[in-house]
Structure 1
């Protein structure tokens, strides 16, 4: 009897140990599967955020390129005016400084675009006083190029703002917000347009 009890006890302990071992293995497997799933989801989320961020950066470069191209044209318009008049010297000096400004972010680009828009309108007003300037082919060519850049800037600005909206909406949600923060990404600012900037240049040559 004593031997049977011992055997039964050993068998029971063996069964319990086997059960505990199996339970531990199952728990470890579950934890491993969960960790792998979390890792896979995190990588997928990160890649999605990175793709949106890349698209946003590309849209920003398009805006920056168009505004800076216009900034390159303004000095040419300036030289055209200076070849016919020495007046408005203060305005001309202010315009000459615009291209030297450094654009480090979308706020800088927006401010430069606004300054170029207002300054260009002022230059057009000056040119209207000089029939020779107003009818010259050089002025017509510059005017057409600037108008095309204005129209293109409005298009890429809308594309940029759409990309900002998508990106900001994406990283507002859990767990994307934590992943974006870990990757050093944060909410991006819109290209704010002044009401005057949204009006097309209504000048007829």
Structure 2
């Protein structure tokens, strides 16, 4: 009878570990999937930036410094290795793209350009999708990190070497709460 009782307890413990481990794997995969969604939107924005620069160059040639900076930020953002660097560069790129879009107020011909207006519309749509993807990703990171940091799943997470994921913070001065 004691053997059956110990066997049942062992079976329950193994089942609990399996359930916790599978939950951690699912949460980690959700984070990866959510990052993929962000990456798709960033790639779409990166693909539109050269077109935007080319469209504006014809109308606002003396805004060259801004246009060169946008191209440089795009290149650096695409090559960024860490999530923190990528987020900072993407924040700077978004600010500069907004500056370029604001040039239409100074250049009526640019405002009338169908190509520029289409690019502007596409960029606004991408920014909306990016904002949603970023919120979804950060929610997935929060869920994974909660699982990793709460008992009893933290025991399985430590044993299986699960690490906390990093939030995507765009812009400066947005440190994680301690």
Point out which structure has higher relative CO (alpha carbons under 8 A, 6+ apart): 2
Structure 1 regions of 5+ residues with no counterpart?
1-25, 196-205
Shift of 1:145: 0.2
Q: Which residue of the partner structure matches residue 174 of structure 1?
A: 151
Shift of 1:130: 1.9
TM-score, normalising length: structure 1: 0.73
Q: Which residue of the partner structure matches residue 17 of structure 2?
A: 42
Q: Which residue of the partner structure matches residue 58 of structure 1?
A: 33
Q: Which residue of the partner structure matches residue 62 of structure 2?
A: 87
Residues 48 and 119 in structure 2, CA contact (< 8 A), matched pair in contact too: yes
Q: Which residue of the partner structure matches residue 73 of structure 2?
A: 98
Q: Which residue of the partner structure matches residue 124 of structure 1?
A: 101
Q: What does the per-residue CA deviation read over 1:93-114, in whole Å, with 9 as the maximum and x for residues that have no partner?
A: 2211223222444424422331
Q: Distance in 1 between matches of 2:2 and 2:81?
A: 52
Q: Distance in 1 between matches of 2:43 and 2:70?
A: 14
Residues 72 and 99 in structure 1, CA contact (< 8 A), matched pair in contact too: no
Paired positions, count: 170
Q: What does the per-residue CA deviation read over 1:85-130, in whole Å, with 9 as the maximum and x for residues that have no partner?
A: 4323322222112232224444244223312211112212334322
Structure with the largest fraction of helix: 2
Residues 171 and 180 in structure 1, CA contact (< 8 A), matched pair in contact too: yes
Q: Distance in 1 between matches of 2:17 and 2:82?
A: 29
What CA RMSD, in Å, does the superposition of the two structures yield over aligned residues? Answer: 2.1
TM-score, normalising length: structure 2: 0.83
Shift of 1:66: 0.9
Larger CA Rg, structure 1 vs 2: 1
Residues 64 and 109 in structure 1, CA contact (< 8 A), matched pair in contact too: no
Q: Distance in 1 between matches of 2:5 and 2:80?
A: 52
Structure 2 regions of 5+ residues with no counterpart?
173-178
Shift of 1:171: 1.6
1:176-195 to structure 2, matched below 5 A, reads 176-194=153-171
Residues 31 and 141 in structure 2, CA contact (< 8 A), matched pair in contact too: yes
